[in-house]
Structure 1
Amino acid sequence: MKPCPCCSTLPYSQCCEPIIRGTVSATTAEQVMRSRYTAYAQGEIGYLKETTHPDGMADFDEQATRSWSENSLWKGLEILTTEAGGPEDTQGSVEFIARFTQKDVEHKHHELAIFKRENDRWLFLDGNPVKPKPMKNSAPKIGRNDPCPCNSGKKYKKCCGK
């Protein structure tokens, strides 16, 4: 059995394939997110277009989407968080990281995707890149005139702080 590209524990035939083929409907925003990632990995551009909300269709570039899909080696999907997006909700969000390789370069696409349910169908509305959290220096701050932490016996400004 072929594993599903969305990195669930299910085989493709029991996970995203029935959703992409239209034999079953996604009941949550996360299921649509997973099936859309799988559609990129499988080159199912028609499904990506079908699951894009009309309000987001202006940003949908079919040729660019096809190129990204076909020229990438899809490595995996990691769902970080989901908010709402359940069977009874009308809106939801999924934060995810999609890993892929293009021209032998590894990439991470980190996004917060917004989904909207209309007529009992979940649709991708919009996505916003998630910026990395700023790094904080947890080490104590060293003043210019403090002893150098390398234990040379010199002041920091005359040693490692040059």
Structure 2
Amino acid sequence: MNDCPCSSGKDFTECCGPILNGAPAPTAEALMRSRYSAYATGDMAHLRRSLHPSKRKRFDENKAAQWSADCIWTGLSVLDTADGGPKDTRGEVEFIARFEHDGQPHEMHERGLFSREGAEWFYVQGMQRTADQPKTAKVGRNDPCPCGSGTKHKKCCGR
């Protein structure tokens, strides 16, 4: 058995492997887990492919590959999900990605925003979390969208 890097407890070939090989992720959480596994395995093609098309021009594959290679990926914890199921068009996944860099342990605590278009889930953006923030931030319909688009939430990810 080859444990999946995403800490699901499943074999890689039954968890993130098929998604990294091009199968659509069934849920936002599955895509999040596959993105962590892509960093752990150095699969930059999956990171680019799973990034929302509107965000790809800012993706620096060389920097991401270097950072991925410089880290030892030590685990992922999914703390919360909101929507993101097979019939949803948007979802949020709160997670902690653990890794070592330059011999020091690090954690990245983030609430990732995801969008489904057709059968494909895409990672849109992450919002860094801190220990003193409430677990789930509520966004009003007329508030700016947390994905950073500059439009109201109701006209963007809140649809």
Q: TM-score under structure 1 normalisation?
A: 0.79
Displacement over 3 Å in runs of 4+? none
Deviation at 1:59, TM superposition (A): 3.1
Give the aligned residue type for 1:11.
D
Paired position in structure 2 for 1:156: none
Aligned length: 133
Deviation at 1:86, TM superposition (A): 0.3
Paired position in structure 2 for 1:93: 92
Paired position in structure 2 for 1:5: 5
Deviation at 1:51, TM superposition (A): 0.3
Q: How far apart, in 1, do the equivalents of 2:11 and 2:31 lie? A: 16
Alignment partner of 2:123: what SS? Answer: strand
Give the aligned residue type for 1:26.
A
Q: How far apart, in 1, do the equivalents of 2:118 and 2:60 lie? A: 24
Paired position in structure 2 for 1:15: 15
Deviation at 1:57, TM superposition (A): 1.8
Q: What do residues 45-100 of structure 1 show as CA deviations (whole Å, max 9, x unaligned)?
A: 01000000012224322111111111000000000000000000000010000000
Deviation at 1:132, TM superposition (A): 2.1
Alignment partner of 1:30: what SS? Answer: helix
Gaps of 5+ in 1: 135-162
Paired position in structure 2 for 1:43: 42
Deviation at 1:44, TM superposition (A): 0.2
Paired position in structure 2 for 1:31: 30
Q: How far apart, in 2, do the equivalents of 1:110 and 1:89 lie? A: 24
* Identical pairs, percent: 43
Give the aligned residue type for 1:118.
E
Paired position in structure 2 for 1:158: none
Q: How far apart, in 2, do the equivalents of 1:132 and 1:87 lie? A: 30
Deviation at 1:129, TM superposition (A): 0.5
Alignment partner of 2:78: what SS? Answer: strand
Matched, 1:67 2:61: no
Deviation at 1:25, TM superposition (A): 1.8
Give the aligned residue type for 2:27.
T
Give the aligned residue type for 1:39.
A
Paired position in structure 1 for 2:105: 106
Q: TM-score under structure 2 normalisation?
A: 0.81
Give the aligned residue type for 2:78.
I
Deviation at 1:40, TM superposition (A): 0.2
Give the aligned residue type for 1:47.
H
Q: How far apart, in 1, do the equivalents of 2:57 and 2:112 lie? A: 16
Q: How far apart, in 2, do the equivalents of 1:54 and 1:7 lie? A: 27
Moved more, 51-60 or 32-41: 51-60
Alignment partner of 2:33: what SS? Answer: helix
Give the aligned residue type for 2:115.
K
